[in-house]
Amino acid sequence: MSRDLERAEGCWAWVVLLASLVTQGLTLGFPTCTGIFFTELQHEFQASNSETSWFPSILTAMLHAGGPLCSILVGRFGCRVTVMLGGALASLGMVASSFCRTLSQLYLTAGFITGLGMCFSFQSSITVLGFYFSRHRALANALASVGVSLGITLWPLLSRYLLEDLGWRGTFLVFGGVFLHCCVCGAILRPVATSTAPETTEGPPPPSKTSAPGCVAACGRAIQRHLAFDILRHNAGYRVYTLGVMWMILGFPLPHVFLVPYAMWHGVDEHRAALLISIIGFSNIFLRPMAGLVAGRRDFAGHRKYLFSLAALLNGLTNLVCAASADFRVLVGYCLAYSVSMSGIGALLFQVLMDIVPMDRFSSALGLFTILESISILISPPLAGLLLDTTDNNFSYVFYMSSFFLISAALFMGGSFCVLQKKERPGKRAETEGAITEAASEQGLMVEDSRGSKKRLNTEVMYVTSV
């Protein structure tokens, strides 16, 4: 049975853009509100800081680690089905978590299941924009990213309001209904008439008759396609960037989890404490698109990796300000300064990766990058929670810890990129000299090499100098 296909860059593309914006707000914006429930969950389950921290860490780690599985589902069933499946899983996880009696059950439901569902929805909603937009793709991605900032702004306010009236269990039950809106957004993603759109096959594939060694080879090719271990071995820039980001992520998500408990611990009102996260989100509504436009300029193409290191350095330094004082006015100023560096990190994180690896291998490089990144996300909050337990709930040490990882990662990446760039220059100069010499030999020219010695190739008097 034939079905109508939507036209790329048509009117419906902007409806799809709106659906992607809402989906990103529902999914990527949600982890920032988990800190509001931190104290409630800790009292409910009589748990330590480290044990309670596993909930947001598992949730956020699954949000990133499910990328390769999501790409397989998109290739098999398409973006529409994958987004709707993700919304159903996220809703199921939150509804089930409202009936949890132990933290282990909360890890499985609100952490693993909800995180995986959100991953399916948000990554598919980003992928579909590439099918619907070609000429306006950069604009579409910039507008869709505003949804993340809206989510960071609205989720904490909604969480604080519902928590007072319904408790955390009733709030999680309502959140289950909210995540069903991802299914509505997924239904809007009609198939698009492009040659690059993933094909949907009808029915299960025929049984394979491949031998066991052939199956191993097929698995190896699948891993190679979705996880770029060969690039990690042979591309020094990718290796430096991946290790630097992994180290940076050990400190980067901590303010989102511990800022609200930190403010409440120092006597800030619950509503004002929740407002701090909303200030970060509201600022990013304007700062993130601006940072994306600046990062996308060709003038900065060769310096984006250094700008990313600078943004990480500033982010670490701002955390020191937060650790110095818990006065509400100081915390508001901290949130505004934090938003500037956060928007720079968000705008440059994947742009730098595109600069480092070839675009034909970007998908597999991104798959390995997000999985390694999720390992750091999984470790970071429990490690900070353990630090809190050993220091009698001194939250200042958490922000010192965050600053240490961010500043050291920034210095490592910036220094390593400088060293790599210096090593690349002699190689590029030699290649340039070789190309000039070869071209000159065909025309009978005299060439001056990098040491200043002249090589006569013919009787014509002409000098070509390599820079």
- Alpha-carbon dihedral sign for residues 22, 133, 131, 7: positive
Q: Is the pLDDT of residue 9 over 90?
A: no
Other beta carbons within 10 angstroms of residue 72's beta carbon come to 14
Instruction: Tell the CATH superfamily of the 6-191 domain.
Output: MFS general substrate transporter like domains (1.20.1250.20)
Q: Is the pLDDT of residue 203 over 50?
A: no
The residue assigned the tokens 């020094």 is: 236
Over residues 388-405, the pLDDT tens digits come to 888 888 888 999 999 999
The residue assigned the tokens 């419906």 is: 12
Share of the chain above pLDDT 90, in %: 29
The residue among 464 and 219 whose pLDDT is bigger is 219
Burial readout 176-211 (b: 16 or more C-beta within 10 A, e: otherwise): bebbbbbbebbebbbbbeeeebbeeeeeeeeeeeee
- What is the rounded average pLDDT of the residues 338-348? 87
Give residue 414's pLDDT: 92
Lowest mean pLDDT across 166-170, 245-249, 362-366:
362-366
DSSP string of 91-115?
HHHHHHHTT--SHHHHIIIIIIIHH
CB 95 within 8 A of CB 176: yes
Q: Is the pLDDT of residue 466 over 70?
A: no
- How far apart are the C-alpha atoms of 124 and 144, rounded to whole Å? 13
What's the angle, vertex CA 185, arms to CA 181 and CA 187, rounded to 5? 115
Q: Is the pLDDT of residue 467 over 70?
A: no
- How far apart are the C-alpha atoms of 413 and 98, rounded to whole Å? 42
Q: Is the pLDDT of residue 454 over 60?
A: no
Q: β-strands 454-456, 446-448: how paired? A: antiparallel
Q: Which two tokens stand for residue 1?
A: 């049975």
- What is the rounded average pLDDT of the residues 61-86? 87
Give residue 447's pLDDT: 46
Q: What are the residues whose beta carbons fall under 8 Å from the beta carbon of 4, sequence distance 6 or more?
A: 190
CB 22 within 8 A of CB 144: no
Q: Where are the domains of the chain?
A: 6-191, 227-439
The residue among 135 and 433 whose pLDDT is bigger is 135
The residue assigned the tokens 């995986």 is: 116
Q: Is the pLDDT of residue 449 over 60?
A: no
- Alpha-carbon dihedral sign for residues 364, 370, 371, 376: positive
Maximum CA extent, the chain: 93
- What is the rounded average pLDDT of the residues 182-195? 81
Give residue 213's pLDDT: 63
- What is the rounded average pLDDT of the residues 164-184? 93
- What is the rounded average pLDDT of the residues 153-180? 91
Q: Which two tokens stand for residue 162?
A: 């519902």
Give residue 349's pLDDT: 83
Q: Is the pLDDT of residue 458 over 90?
A: no
What's the angle, vertex CA 270, arms to CA 269 and CA 276, rounded to 5? 90
CB 63 within 8 A of CB 404: no
- What is the rounded average pLDDT of the residues 240-248? 94
Give residue 73's pLDDT: 86
- What is the rounded average pLDDT of the residues 177-188? 92
Element (H, E) at 69: helix 67-77
Most confidently modeled of 17-31, 198-212, 219-233? 17-31
Share of the chain above pLDDT 70, in %: 80
Q: Is the pLDDT of residue 44 over 60?
A: yes
pLDDT band at 434 (very low <50, low <70, confident <90, very high): low
Residue 393: left if φ>0, alpha if ψ -120 to 50, beta else—which one? left
CB 124 within 8 A of CB 77: no
Q: Do domains 6-191 and 227-439 have the same CATH topology?
A: yes
Q: Cα 196 to chain center, whole Å?
A: 24
Q: Is the pLDDT of residue 141 over 80?
A: no
- How far apart are the C-alpha atoms of 224 and 414, rounded to whole Å? 29
Over residues 302-340, the pLDDT tens digits come to 788 899 999 999 999 999 888 888 888 899 999 999 999
Q: What are the residues whose beta carbons fall under 8 Å from the beta carbon of 220, sequence distance 6 or more?
A: none
Over residues 97-116, the pLDDT tens digits come to 999 999 999 999 999 999 99
- How far apart are the C-alpha atoms of 406 and 309, rounded to whole Å? 9
Q: Across all residues in the chain, what is the average pLDDT?
A: 80
Q: Is the pLDDT of residue 455 over 60?
A: no
- What is the rounded average pLDDT of the residues 67-92? 88
CATH of domain 227-439: 1.20.1250.20
Give residue 36's pLDDT: 87
pTM flag (> 0.85): no
- What is the rounded average pLDDT of the residues 178-196? 82
Other beta carbons within 10 angstroms of residue 167's beta carbon come to 14
CB 313 within 8 A of CB 166: no
Other beta carbons within 10 angstroms of residue 7's beta carbon come to 12
Other beta carbons within 10 angstroms of residue 212's beta carbon come to 7
- What is the rounded average pLDDT of the residues 51-56? 90
Q: Which two tokens stand for residue 457?
A: 């190739």
